[in-house]
Structure 1
Amino acid sequence: MNKLDSALLNLLLKDGRMSYADMARELDISRAHARDRVQQLVDSGVIEQFTAVVNPARLGKVISTFVDLKVAPWALEEIAEELAECQEVINLYIMSDLRSLHIHTLTDSQESFDSFARRHLLGREAIISVNCTNLLARVKHGEGGAKL
């Protein structure tokens, strides 16, 4: 990856719908060259997908909860796969200690989160501990994704 690729990625991170013509003008290259470089980034797997960033509050999802689970190592992948299928779970990570899951959920109410927790987290032998914290305020948000 070179400087041009990084510049193209930064433009796409700001606006994934930016036209090749706008990219070309911004970077002083031809539209065809911009298109070819973006396609190479897709083909090489650097760009995995183009997507929309949705405001969850506009969809009624106003409770943002971060959940840290300690899980028996023998059940880690099974529980991670199960939770990944839940509509409330928007991000799920297996952590480096190989017994922790870090989960971000979005729900429309505390009652909805409580129902999710009771169905999927509480009273399970393989889940050793549960720590939940709700988001109070977003101070810095990776708008447009990571900068390269």
Structure 2
Amino acid sequence: MNNLDTALLNLLIKDGRASFADIARQLNISRTHARDRVQAMIESGLIEQFTAVINPEKLGKTVSSFIDLKVAPNAIEDIAEDLASKPEVVSLYIMTDLQSLHIHTLTDSTETFHAFVSTHLFSNPQILSVASSSLLKRVKHRRGGARL
């Protein structure tokens, strides 16, 4: 990846719907060259998908919570897959200690969040501990993905 590719990716991160003509103008390259570079990044797997960034508050999802779980190591994959399938779970990560999950949830109320943890976390004997915090204020976030 070179400087042009990095600049091109940063433009796409900011606006995934930017036309090749707009990208070409901003980078001072031809539209064809812009299209070819994007296509090459798609084919190589560098660009996995183009997606929309949704404002959860506009959907009524105002409670953003972060959960750290300690789980029985032999159950971590199954628990991770099960929780990842829940609509409340926005992101889920298996951590390097191989017994921890870090989860971000979005719900419409604290009552809905409580119902989620009661149903899916507290009732599972393979989950050894639960710690959670809710978002107070968003200061910096990576809307649209990481910057390169």
| Class of the TM-score when normalised by the shorter of the 2 chains | over 0.9
Matched, 1:17 2:17: yes
Deviation at 1:79, TM superposition (A): 0.4
Deviation at 1:45, TM superposition (A): 0.4
Aligned length: 148
Residue 40 of structure 1 corresponds to 40
CA distance in 1: counterparts of 2:143 and 2:70, whole angstroms: 30
Matched, 1:54 2:54: yes
CA distance in 1: counterparts of 2:114 and 2:143, whole angstroms: 29
Residue 136 of structure 1 corresponds to 136
Deviation at 1:116, TM superposition (A): 0.6
Deviation at 1:125, TM superposition (A): 1.4
CA shift in 2, pair 1:104/1:21, >3 Å: same
Q: What root-mean-square deviation, in Å, do the aligned CA atoms of Structure 1 and Structure 2 show?
A: 0.7
Residue 83 of structure 2 corresponds to 83
Letter of the 2:87 partner, please give it. Answer: Q
Partner of 1:9, secondary structure, is: helix
Partner of 2:65, secondary structure, is: strand
CA distance in 2: counterparts of 1:143 and 1:129, whole angstroms: 30
Partner of 1:4, secondary structure, is: helix
Matched, 1:102 2:120: no
CA distance in 2: counterparts of 1:22 and 1:46, whole angstroms: 21
Letter of the 1:77 partner, please give it. Answer: E
Deviation at 1:2, TM superposition (A): 1.1
Off by >3 Å, runs of 4+ in structure 1: none
Q: Percent identity?
A: 64
Partner of 1:10, secondary structure, is: helix
Letter of the 1:144 partner, please give it. Answer: G
CA distance in 2: counterparts of 1:70 and 1:9, whole angstroms: 36
Ranges in structure 1 where 5+ consecutive residues have no aligned partner: none
Letter of the 1:21 partner, please give it. Answer: A
With normalisation by structure 2, the TM-score equals: 0.98
Letter of the 1:118 partner, please give it. Answer: S
Partner of 2:86, secondary structure, is: coil
Residue 145 of structure 1 corresponds to 145
